[in-house]
Amino acid sequence: MTDVLRRGRASLAFSFFTQGATFALLVTRIPAIQDRYGVSDALLPVFLAAVPILAGVGSVTTEQLVKRIRPSRLLRWSQPVVMLALLGVGSGGVMAELAVALAAFGLAVGALDASMNMLGVSLQRTYGRSIMLSFHAAYSLGGILGASLAWVGAHWHLALWVSYLPVVAVLLPAALVGSRWYVDGDPAPVADEAAGGGASGVVFKVLLPLCLVMTFAYIGDSTVSNWSAKYLKDVLGSSEQLATVPYNVYMVTTLVGRGIGDFGVRRFGAVPVVRLGAVVAAAGFAVVAAAPGAWVGMAGFTLLGLGLCVLVPQTFAAAGRLFPGASDAAIARLNIFNYVGFLIGSPLVGALGDAWSYRGAMLVPMVLVLVTLVYARSFATRSDRYGGGHERPRTADVGRGSNGL
């Protein structure tokens, strides 16, 4: 039993890692994609917005599919589609091919994100202690790898397909092999279902606070990914080379924070960790907004990584505790607000920066992240502590994992 769970945890962590690398390879090469297909500056936002919108559709569809198909099966087949769609983006030649590839990427990534987190929450329930942050740490590590490989491709002026093909050729077969050991958890026992609706379904009013936290966290994240370089260069007067550093620093501190975050949840509980993360992230935005120069600005982005990194994994975990008998449906719905935050964040900061100032624009995600403090108790609907640091297996479908699909 323990070996099965450990293999399931390792294989799921590899899936998170693979998706982190895949997504980073796409978003960090957007200028090269634009040049390859001749996408105008006016049309580019349409393509960029279409991906998270379709991902939301994929997440909604996943909520219905998991009523008949196990999350492990959806994950097993959506991940290759995402990777092949990435390769399609890099190897196409006309704009219609780009549109098809991005549409496939968006739809599949919605199913992938939802099913990955479904399995993560069910495994955490089975372990009886916090492990969710470790999966997202693997995602951050993959993101660092993908961004680094994208830098190599850009530095050596490699064609997109040349950059993408070796990654897909290595990670896709490995992910398929690893998918044999995915473990589908069973819903929580009926006795645990009083927390928030249980098997009777997801009450959106109860889920709404977590949806807002998810949205605000991704507004903060998209602010860093889309505006950190421009902010450092245009507002704080850094060199173009130095302006590329904040996002890398942010990713590294995100990895560090997630790597140690599970220990904090086990020791202090989810509520204090989420509150601390929100305060640290807000302090990071405040430092960025008030920074007199580039190095202080980078210190602010460092704080942002340490603070924001805990919010999203703990939000998924809290949804599983709120609806122990319907956690898959809750996670699929919650996952939609990942994309809502991504869609809102970048245009919001850009519009405020143009109409007001970019320093002032940084205060808006700061305030939104602080709203998390209002909803922090939603992270402790059931027992807020994972005791003792010991594995306390509950139930897991170890006999009908992906091996028999």
* pLDDT value of position 116: 97
180 Cα distance to chain centroid: 23
Residue 310 has pLDDT above 70, yes or no: yes
Amino acid found at 400: R
* pLDDT value of position 48: 86
Mean pLDDT of all residues belonging to the chain: 89
Range 1-186 classified under CATH 1.10.3720.10: no
Residue 192 has pLDDT above 50, yes or no: no
Give the total residue count for the chain. Answer: 405
Measured CA distances, 50 to 28, 39, 74, 342, 373 (Å): 17, 14, 22, 12, 32
Helices vs. strands in the chain: H and E counts, helices first:
15, 2
Residue with more model confidence, 294 or 244: 294
- Show the CA angle centred on residue 212, arms to residues 75 and 128, nearest 5°: 50
Average pLDDT over residues 20-43: 90
Long-range contacts for 243-246 (Cβ within 8 Å, ≥24 apart)?
Answer: 243/294, 245/298, 246/297, 246/298, 246/301
* pLDDT value of position 248: 82
Residue 196 has pLDDT above 60, yes or no: no
Tokens 């009908």 identify what position?
400
Residue 77 has pLDDT above 60, yes or no: yes
Q: List, for residues 329-369, the tens digit of each pLDDT value.
A: 999 999 999 999 999 988 999 899 989 999 999 999 999 99
Burial of 244 (0-12, 13-18, 19+ CB in 10 A): middle
* Entry pTM: 0.90
* pLDDT value of position 199: 42
Average pLDDT over residues 272-281: 97
The percentage of residues in the chain with a pLDDT greater than 90, rounded to a whole number, is: 72
Residue 393 has pLDDT above 60, yes or no: no
* pLDDT value of position 225: 86
Residue 270 has pLDDT above 60, yes or no: yes
Average pLDDT over residues 90-117: 96
Residue 200 has pLDDT above 60, yes or no: no
* pLDDT value of position 155: 82
Q: List, for residues 278-292, the tens digit of each pLDDT value.
A: 999 999 999 999 999
Rg of the chain taking only CA atoms, in angstroms: 20
Q: How many CA atoms lie within 13 A of 33 on its CB side?
A: 25
Q: Are 99 and 47 in contact (CB under 8 A)?
A: yes
Which ranges in 231-310 belong to alpha helices (H)? Answer: 245-268, 270-290, 294-308
Neighbours of 46 (CB within 10 A): 11
Average pLDDT over residues 144-171: 91
For the domain made up of 189-384, the CATH class stated in words is mainly alpha
* pLDDT value of position 222: 92
Residue 392 has pLDDT above 60, yes or no: no
185 φ/ψ sector (left φ>0, alpha ψ -120 to 50, else beta): beta
Q: Is 248 helix (H, G, I), strand (E, B) or coil?
A: helix
Work out the pLDDT band at 396, boundaries 50, 70, 90. Answer: low
Average pLDDT over residues 172-183: 96
Is there a shared CATH topology between the 1-186 domain and the 189-384 domain? Answer: yes
Spell out the domain ranges in the chain.
1-186, 189-384
Q: List, for residues 110-156, the tens digit of each pLDDT value.
A: 999 999 999 999 999 999 999 999 999 999 999 999 988 988 888 89
* pLDDT value of position 1: 53
Average pLDDT over residues 301-325: 95
Residue 160 has pLDDT above 70, yes or no: yes
Tokens describing residue 182: 């995915």
Residue with more model confidence, 203 or 161: 161
Which ranges in 1-94 belong to alpha helices (H)? Answer: 2-27, 30-37, 44-65, 71-91
Q: Are 24 and 142 in contact (CB under 8 A)?
A: yes
The percentage of residues in the chain with a pLDDT greater than 70, rounded to a whole number, is: 89
